[in-house]
Amino acid sequence: MINPDAKLAENIFEKPAMASTREGFGKGVVEAGKADERVVVLTADLAESTQAHHFEKAFPERFVQVGVAEQNLATVAAGMANYGKIPFITSYAAFNPGRNWEQIRTTIGINNVPVIVCGMHAGVSVGPDGATHQALEDLAMMRAIPRFTVISACDSEEGRKATIAAAKLGTPVYMRWGREKSPVMTTPDTPFQIGKAQLFWQSKNPSVAIFATGSLLYQALLAARDLEAEGTEVSVVNVHTVKPLDRETIVSEATRAGAVVTVEEHQVHGGFGGAIAELLSREAPVPIEFIGMQDRFGQSGEAQELIEHFGMSHTAIKEAVIRAAARRSPTPGFRKSR
């Protein structure tokens, strides 16, 4: 059942409100700008596509258009941060961090300045734009850079809160955003804290813990609902902060269940699932199944069509749960976290 403490939106399954996660950024960055005049926004010729145009309209004197020059986007922002600004830099994730990763690493990461790197249009749900624009490697690229916090919001409302929180963090941040409208699962009252995962679906005796990040959390919840009706109990955890992971919650839920499924709209190599596996291999080794892109590039198509095609739908998650449950320890809770 849905965790009553999660404060999820009503009618989450019947008729959910729909909005892209990038819309949450557009709203949140304006709120952050109102709260702190040090907040500035830079973009690489993609103001409307990245929703940065809302900030441009509200604070034109604090908006910078660098043109099609993503390397400059990062280095200019790093310079501004060195002089006390809080810059958000926006472009498609295929270009930011795809094209300017070295500048992000050198001028932002090494210098430890509070630039928030926003990679928009991530995942196959970009749809018809095709493989060149479907960033599926960005979480792996960014979680490997020291000092970076990495956030992948589940919906537009959580994205709004995450943007406001990122502006206050004072260290480098990478934020991942989607273009396609997706279900709004959270409400303004749903708690949000960077680095703190949330149990959205709970069962008394789960046989598998599902850890999901980004908008595919909705597919995980659909899978949980179906599985419960079929007699299989699971838990579903919203892991919006990919780095640093919420060690306590993840180890606790994995240990309680005895098996794990990870869900991400990203390559399974080096991404969110890899981060979960790294943690659990040290703290609580359990069988793991990985939902995500299985070492493939994307292709053109409608968003939901591609989610189904590449095995990231609720149906694929249910199948992964069955496989994980068959491999689970006969005595869940066998390993206590340190």
Q: Give the mean pLDDT of 239-267.
A: 98
d(CA 236, CA 252): 13
Confidence category of residue 332, pLDDT binned at 50, 70, 90: low
In tens, the pLDDT along 280-310 reads: 999 999 999 999 999 999 999 999 999 999 9
| Set 10, 23, 56, 70: catalytic member | 70
Calculate mean pLDDT across residues 27-31: 98
Tell whether 8 and 141 lie within a shared domain: no
How would you classify the pairing of strands 198-201 and 234-238? antiparallel
The predicted pLDDT at position 4 comes to 82
Does the structure show a pLDDT above 50 at 336?
A: no
pLDDT at position 134, please?
Answer: 96
Question: Which whole-number Å values give the CA distances from 35 to 32, 38, 60, 95, 221, in the listed order?
Answer: 5, 9, 16, 29, 34
Last residue of a domain, one of 138, 164, 183: 183
User: Does residue 283 contact residue 312 with C-beta atoms inside 8 Å?
Assistant: no
Is-cis flag, bond preceding 244, omega within 30? Answer: yes
Indicate if 203 and 238 belong to the same structural domain.
Answer: yes
Mean pLDDT to the nearest integer, 156-171: 98
Q: Give the mean pLDDT of 273-281.
A: 98
**Does residue 308 share a domain with residue 290?**
yes
Q: What confidence score (pLDDT) does residue 309 get?
A: 97
> At which residue do the structure tokens 């709203």 appear?
27
261 has which bridge partners? 210, 289
Residue 263 lies in domain: 4-14+192-327
Tell whether 38 and 132 lie within a shared domain.
Answer: yes
Q: Is 70 a catalytic residue?
A: yes
332 falls within a domain: no
Cα–Cα distance for residue pair 297/312, rounded to 1 Å: 14
CATH code of residue 84: 3.40.50.970
Provide the number of structural domains found in the chain. 2
User: Is pLDDT of 231 > 50?
Assistant: yes
Tokens of residue 76, six digits: 């200019």
Share of the chain above pLDDT 70, in %: 97
d(CA 327, CA 276): 17
Contacts of 276 (CB under 8 A, 6+ apart): 211, 239, 245, 250, 260, 262, 288
- Of 158, 183, 208, the residue that ends a domain is 183
pLDDT for residue 337: 41
pTM, to two decimals: 0.96
Share the mean pLDDT of the chain: 96
pLDDT for the residue numbered 333: 52
| Concatenated DSSP letters of 236-261 | EEE--EEES--HHHHHHHHHHHS-EE
Residue 52's pLDDT is 97
Is residue 334 in a domain?
no
User: Do the domain assignments include residue 34?
Assistant: yes
CATH number at residue 201: 3.40.50.920
